[in-house]
Amino acid sequence: MSEPKKDGFWKSLRPLGPYLAPHRQMFWVGLACAFLTNSLGMLLPLAIKYGIEAIENGKGFRLVIYSVIVLIGIKFIQSIFRYLMRWILIGISRQIEYKIRADLFDHLETLPLAFYQRTRVGDIMSRATNDLNEVRMLLGPAIMYSFQTVVTVLFAVPVMVYIDLNLTLLSFLPLALVSLSVKKVGKVIHERSMEVQRKLSDITARVQENLAGIRVIKSFTREDSEIERFERLNLEYLQRNMHLVKVSGVLYPLMAYLGGLSTLAVLGYGGVLIVRGSITIGDFTAFLMYLGMMYWPMIAIGFVLNVIQRGRASLIRIMELFKVKSDITDPEQPAPALDQGLKVEGHISIRGLSFTYPGTSEPVLRELDLDIPAGSTLAVLGPVGCGKSTLINLIPRLFNPPRGSLFIDGVDVLDWPLAALRSSVATVPQDTFLFSESIRENILYGLERDIEEEEIIKVVRMAGLHEDISGFPDKLDTLLGERGINLSGGQKQRTAIGRALVLESPILLLDDCFSSVDTQTEETILRSLKDYTASRTTLIVSHRISTIKFADQIIVLEQGRITQRGTHGQLIEQPGYYSSLYEKQLLQERIERIS
């Protein structure tokens, strides 16, 4: 994905507004609890001050006991408000994390196929997990600690000034460098955090590809090579993190050093003031306690700044995904005929269709003209890369065809509501994908109505899968591994065929879905599909003549153009790609029979 623009600090956080809005009341309650937690903490030094002064002035044991009871009471009430503060503020950050994750998934589901062809899955996964966690930290701990710091400063400083102005100024003198350091270092932390998150995306993408392609890796004995590549990526990620730590790590010792200087200065000058009698021991003890309370906010500045900048960098990366919009959307005004709930016949008309993929200049399809009557079968044949799968993908609008080039039942596909269009089309894609569910759930994946067991068995038989399933221990309820890894290539394809058949859609698209099926099983499936396809418009893409010879119409695509069309009988009589391929496959079959 493209490099993000460098937005201003508050502008980059603006997308969080709509997510915070529903929690506005509880958010203020959480901040109120934080306010009370720190406010009560401000009373502790005063209680100790009065206790010391009571001992110093010989006012008796009773006042000391009273001071101790007050301390215990304050700490108890403070702990209750501290719990409520964390429960509310951290809880809100978790709920917002949940909502952003849900919205992101919903958004990703709407994005077109073209987006996933140009974007690595691992990069998307990294943004949806690692980056989202950084945003949660920004919304939870960062806000909580920032507010606590502000409250502590607002309460402690006036009391410290009241005790002794000069002592306060002296204690804050070393802290003048803090704001300068934070401003300078914060910008660098943000930039390096972006680098870290980008490199983490690379690692996630690499791991995802390796796990998905583990069969290929093992088949080609590339384990050592992949380990080496991962180690390089992992080392680069480590280097980016160390690059970040060099800067973020400076903040903590810097704050500790400045805090130490303040304490030393106060101890030295405060001792002089006590000797002179300018302040009491109780006042000085309270002052030191307030200074100690200021010490944690100083340390927290480094932590909070780091969390804020990392969260901001991650939020920018997540918002990049939200900014991607789909160009495949429902029409603003669907065709009037579609509002009448008419039955889809499945008549496909293609008129001068040319198509070029986004980001490329070379057309994949060139001036196609086709008429596919409802209930007929069209077969598409041609060399690799000639545009067969592209033609299949344009019918359900996985990509947008040019307006006026593709019609179903006389209506431009661009004027069809997507749900109505795609529910009328059942597709078996070239690359079979199965979910980590049972075979039954994979077959029924796109079905929204209830179905009898007999209907499922009928579909399984048509797909040529019944004998295979009968041999499985749990039959249709056999659980599949990721991407159906425990099935053979042919079994996967037949499961995908069953998934399309069970929909009983008026249009059936079969994109080279018999490539992993043996010839005998293919013939069995085609025979069982004969009655099924008789009432449906069917498009079959294949490299096998045996698969398509029964089609009502056959076209040959070469370099995106139709170079031949006709029936099987007509095409084998014509010189060209079809008859040449037919003779080669016929010879291959004879050789196989002899051997």
pLDDT in tens, 58-92: 666 677 777 788 888 888 998 999 999 999 999 99
Q: What's the pLDDT score for residue 155?
A: 86
Tokens of 69: 């009871």
CATH number of 342-594: 3.40.50.300
pLDDT exceeds 90 at position 349? yes
pLDDT exceeds 90 at position 406? yes
Q: In what order do the strands lie in the sheet with 537-541?
A: 425-428, 507-511, 537-541, 377-381, 553-558, 561-566
Distance of CA 107 to the CA centre of its chain: 9
Question: What is the greatest pairwise CA distance in the chain?
Answer: 122
| Mean pLDDT within 540-545 | 86
Q: Where are the domains of the chain?
A: 16-323, 342-594
Residue 123: φ, ψ to 5°: -65, -40
Residues 311, 383: Cα–Cα separation, whole Å: 50
Residues 468, 470: Cα–Cα separation, whole Å: 5
The pLDDT mean for the chain works out to 82
503 vs 483, more confident: 503
Q: What's the pLDDT score for residue 592?
A: 67
Of 317, 309, 316, the residue nearest 138 (C-alpha): 309
Q: Report the sign of the C-alpha dihedral through residues 323, 329, 330, 335, in that order.
A: positive
Q: How confident is the model at residue 180 (pLDDT cuts 50, 70, 90)?
A: low
Tokens of 203: 């690692």
Least confident of 102-106, 202-206, 280-284, 321-325: 202-206
Residues 433, 442: Cα–Cα separation, whole Å: 10
Least confident of 287-296, 360-369, 420-429, 498-507: 287-296
pLDDT exceeds 60 at position 237? yes
pLDDT exceeds 60 at position 280? yes
Distance of CA 264 to the CA centre of its chain: 51
Number of Cβ within a 10 Å radius of residue 46: 17
| 69, 24 contact by CB (below 8 A) | no
Show the 3-state SS of 128-196: HHHHHHHHHHHHHHHHHHHHHHHHHHHHHHHHHHHHCHHHHHHHHHHHHHHHHHHHHHHHHHHHHHHHH
160 vs 296, more confident: 160
Q: How confident is the model at residue 370 (pLDDT cuts 50, 70, 90)?
A: very high
| Mean pLDDT within 304-323 | 85
Least confident of 79-88, 354-363, 584-593: 584-593
pLDDT exceeds 70 at position 354? yes
Q: What's the pLDDT score for residue 294?
A: 77
pLDDT exceeds 80 at position 53? no
Distance of CA 68 to the CA centre of its chain: 54
Least confident of 199-213, 451-465, 539-553: 199-213
Q: In angstroms, how far is the first alpha carbon of the chain from the final one?
A: 53
Q: Which helix (H) or strand (E) holds 435?
A: none
CA distance readout (Å), 198 to 2, 192, 230, 236: 11, 10, 15, 11
Q: What's the pLDDT score for residue 368?
A: 92
- What percentage of the chain reaches a pLDDT higher than 90? 13
| 577, 383 contact by CB (below 8 A) | yes
Residues 103, 115: Cα–Cα separation, whole Å: 17
Q: Report the sign of the C-alpha dihedral through residues 190, 15, 136, 436, in that order.
A: negative
Of 381, 232, 398, the residue nearest 328 (C-alpha): 398
Q: What's the pLDDT score for residue 539?
A: 92
| 470, 433 contact by CB (below 8 A) | no
Superfamily assignment of 16-323 in CATH? Answer: ABC transporter type 1, transmembrane domain (1.20.1560.10)
CA distance readout (Å), 509 to 328, 367, 539: 20, 21, 5
Helices (H) and strands (E) in the chain, counts: 23, 10
Dihedral angle at the C-alpha atoms of 480, 483, 485, 488, nearest 10 degrees? 100
Place of tokens 């749900």: 419
Of 158, 149, 174, the residue nearest 286 (C-alpha): 158
Residues 168, 558: Cα–Cα separation, whole Å: 85
Strands 365-372 and 377-381, by their bridges, are unpaired
Q: Which helix (H) or strand (E) holds 585?
A: helix 577-594
Task: List pLDDT tens digits, range 412-421.
Answer: 999 888 888 8
| Mean pLDDT within 431-436 | 82
7 vs 11, more confident: 11
Q: How confident is the model at residue 26 (pLDDT cuts 50, 70, 90)?
A: very high
Q: What's the pLDDT score for residue 58?
A: 66
Query: DSSP secondary structure string, 292-311?
Result: HHHHHHHHHHHHHHHHHHHH
Q: Which helix (H) or strand (E) holds 539?
A: strand 537-541
Fill in the DSSP letter of residue 430: S
Tokens of 25: 């009341």
Least confident of 249-263, 273-287, 536-550: 249-263
Place of tokens 């130490």: 260
pLDDT exceeds 70 at position 167? yes
Three-state DSSP at 528 gives helix
CA distance readout (Å), 72 to 44, 60, 80: 10, 19, 13
Q: What's the pLDDT score for residue 534?
A: 82
Residue 566 region, left (φ>0) first, then alpha (ψ -120 to 50), else beta? Answer: left
Q: How confident is the model at residue 214 (pLDDT cuts 50, 70, 90)?
A: low
Residues 387, 333: Cα–Cα separation, whole Å: 30
Least confident of 209-213, 371-375, 520-524: 209-213
Q: What's the pLDDT score for residue 311?
A: 87
Q: What is the pTM of this model?
A: 0.76
pLDDT exceeds 70 at position 501? yes
Q: What's the pLDDT score for residue 335?
A: 74
